[in-house]
Structure 1
């Protein structure tokens, strides 16, 4: 009798373990860029690795071009459990103030300096606060090309910004910066920018070359003013609850796939930047070299005034 009970217990244990191992996970991964952008290509690599390493137990559903909603909407959906992953950056400062340092004007002057910050104490502090306050877990990071200003007139110095209606993301520091430089910043969802430029609701916008190209801004903007005002990085994040609820083996596969995605994106970054400029020039945009020192000087004053004491402390570490 005892032997039979023991056999049943062993069988039950194996059955439970088998069910756990057979568990399947679906990850809904939404982001703002379209299929031409290298972030989408990196997301495809994540999908390939996660699905192949898990023998199909992980299914990754990709939703480019804001199919799951605008950036803040997707973040809220992850927090509610109706989406799982996204690509996001300085917008997280709405919960975690240190995330503002992901995109501080003229904080970084080279890729090497930026990478040292991300992989060092600065990146650790930012990541920890994101985890603590948002319910999101950064699992990879991408370097972003410098943000440049586009317009329908050349911008050589901050004086040329007077009265320019400029779309900015919903980031308080960006609003304060462009106000200090003389423009009229208008926070707006990325998906609304093209139509607003087309209709004249705004006069310009600022983004990396990758987004200028993938969003077809060359159809409604004539100039790329190489202000290079923000050199930054962005995180791929997953909901903490979603990640922690996975079986350990699938969680490990997701984290490994994220690292491979990161390496894949990094390998494409430099050559992509050079190709993007050539492509935009072919599509009719004129590149302008403004007075960077004038922009940098005015920006630094605005940054010092806009950052909190906590943010300034981290800025000094950069």
Structure 2
């Protein structure tokens, strides 16, 4: 009887030892989203998920609206130990290595977030991207992708031909090169200048965000045309942590963070798909015309995008490697020849 009790006690102790986490950790993470933004609210839920699943062994201090350093400086702040992790996006780091363009927004590549997630998890994308991040002493944990962005316009944008001469607000980088190739006139300007530029006619349209977010910005109070679903841009945000910090976590702690992030990622895509569909119905009822580009025009845009891809792929060995990984997977999906 005593032996049996001893064995039960020993077994319970062994079970506790195998399930116990390592020393408690506190992570400081910055995002560019505000607390009231839908993604900001979902990030707060992710923090709660991690803390709850870890039994409080992992605590997270989330800094919203880039409150510690500028958005573009978040990655460096994590590298240098000011923060532990960066919850912004890889596209902000093309100055470090052009390859970050292909983990931030390949432009004109995938049609849906699910295809793009699939490249990361099942198309060797994670390994290809991880090499890029590790070279900066960072670890890529995962992505969050809210879906295709929509172009907003004061004139019809029915397809490929309507882009010729079309003046629009564009973010810097690869996008300007692609649209110039198609005959459009991209104008790089700050996000905050879009509304006034549309009102005064400086620009005909804007690449700002997804349809629902554009509604929130009030763009369709001014312009009455938009592309939907989008086709040209589908940016991915990331969670990336200082490699030394990440390696210092236990296997269980890393698994909890990764699993909770995958839940967040897919819920962001799902919630935005619903929000965009609701926004589309509302806008059409209010007289805004939405344009779903034909397969032929989408193919024409993707062909022009590949000219820019090829150029960016020559800018660093890592850029070429990640681009080839994307192209192999896009071919497998039948999206490029």
Name the TM-score, length of structure 1 as normaliser.
Answer: 0.75
- Corresponding residue number in structure 1 for 2:15: none
SS in 2 for 1:182: coil
Gaps of 5+ in 1: 1-19
Deviations 1:61-111 (A, max 9, x none): 2414x5456542333333343343223143444434444334334322345
2:241 to 238, 248, 263: 238
- 1:1-318 superposed matches below 5 A: 21=23, 25-32=26-33, 35-37=36-38, 39-52=39-52, 53-55=54-56, 58-64=59-65, 66-68=66-68, 71-83=71-83, 84-102=85-103, 103-170=105-172, 172-198=173-199, 200-206=201-207, 207-226=209-228, 227-231=230-234, 233-244=236-247, 251=254, 253-281=256-284, 285-291=288-294, 293-307=296-310, 308-309=313-314, 310=320, 312-317=323-328, 318=330
Deviations 1:24-62 (A, max 9, x none): 52423212466343x223202111123333427513324
Deviations 1:174-216 (A, max 9, x none): 1110111122223344455445445555432223224323434
CA contact (8 A) 1:166 1:186 kept: yes
SS in 1 for 2:181: helix
Deviations 1:229-251 (A, max 9, x none): 23454323233344345577655
Distance 1:200 1:240, change over 3 A: farther
Greater share of strand: 1
Deviations 1:128-176 (A, max 9, x none): 1331344432223223311221111111233333333322223x32111
**Matches of 2:242 and 2:286, distance apart in 1:** 39
**Matches of 1:263 and 1:302, distance apart in 2:** 27
Gaps of 5+ in 2: 1-21, 315-319, 331-337
CA contact (8 A) 2:35 2:41 kept: no
**Matches of 1:284 and 1:73, distance apart in 2:** 41
- Tell me the matched-pair count: 295
Distance 1:87 1:278, change over 3 A: farther
CA contact (8 A) 1:168 1:205 kept: yes
**Matches of 1:105 and 1:120, distance apart in 2:** 20
